């Protein structure tokens, strides 16, 4: 919901940073993999309840996620790079609540499982429509710079980052935040399935 407002604000600094990285021969895929490694390091930090360290690693992961896209637009968007980026993004998103579950399974297990379950819904509906939209040549007029069809919804990247930040700032409220955000994710899934089905059905009409 907020991505269309946030992306234009951060595009200029990301693009300028990407120009510097391109000049020193850093590739988009290298940034993607490095960012994923940083994100994975947030898991042991969470398990050890080092929440501010985890927050820093999450922020660095999301910074790399913005930089790899900016670099890809300079060096050329590729299907392989887009596939790598989105796959590692969803793995990272699921890893963070799992870290909270391992840190405190007595209180966080069910809420964490519910949130990861909701991520399956948002991820599947997002990626399944992207595949069909690519097959049909359907373009998204809002996110034309993306390597695949970026289906909008109530919970997008900005909202997800916000939830991860709240988890780290208020770890004792993880369960409550996870239930609320997971419910919002299911609303996103429902609207994506509905709108995606009707969009594809209309595209099949002669």
> How far, in Å, CA of 67 to CA of 54, rounded?
20
pLDDT tens-place string over residues 15-54? 899 999 999 999 999 999 999 999 999 999 999 999 999 9
Residue 146 has a pLDDT of 58
Residue recorded with tokens 């596939």: 83
pLDDT in tens, 146-198: 555 666 777 888 899 999 999 999 999 999 999 999 999 999 999 999 988 98
Q: Give the domains, in start order, of the chain with CATH numbers.
A: 3-204 (1.20.120.1760)
Q: For residue range 125-140, what is the model confidence (pLDDT) as tens digits?
A: 988 888 888 787 777 6
pTM of the model: 0.86
What does 82-145 look like in DSSP terms, one character per residue?
HHHHHHHHHHHHHHHHHHHHHH-HHHHHHHHHHHHHHHHHHHHHHHHHHHHHHHHT---SS-TT
Question: Is it the case that residue 62 has pLDDT exceeding 70?
Answer: yes
CB 35 within 8 A of CB 60: yes
């Amino acid at each position: 919901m907020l991505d269309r407002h946030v992306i234009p604000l951060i595009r200029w600094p990301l693009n300028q940073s990407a120009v510097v990285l391109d000049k020193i021969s850093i590739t988009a895929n290298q940034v993607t993999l490095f960012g994923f490694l940083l994100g994975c390091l947030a898991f042991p930090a969470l398990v050890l309840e080092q929440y501010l360290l985890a927050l820093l690693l999450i922020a660095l992961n999301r910074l790399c996620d913005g930089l790899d896209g900016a670099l890809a637009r300079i060096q050329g968007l590729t299907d392989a790079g887009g596939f790598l980026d989105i796959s590692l993004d969803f793995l990272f998103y699921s890893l963070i609540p799992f870290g909270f579950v391992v840190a405190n399974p007595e209180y966080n297990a069910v809420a964490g499982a519910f949130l990861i379950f909701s991520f399956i819904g948002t991820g599947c509906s997002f990626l399944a429509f992207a595949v069909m939209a690519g097959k049909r040549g359907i373009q998204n007029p809002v996110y034309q710079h993306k390597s695949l069809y970026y289906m909008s919804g109530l919970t997008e990247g900005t909202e997800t980052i916000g939830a991860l930040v709240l988890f780290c700032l208020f770890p004792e409220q993880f369960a409550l935040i996870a239930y609320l955000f997971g419910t919002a994710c299911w609303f996103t899934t429902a609207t994506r399935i509905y709108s995606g089905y009707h969009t594809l059905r209309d595209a099949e009409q002669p």
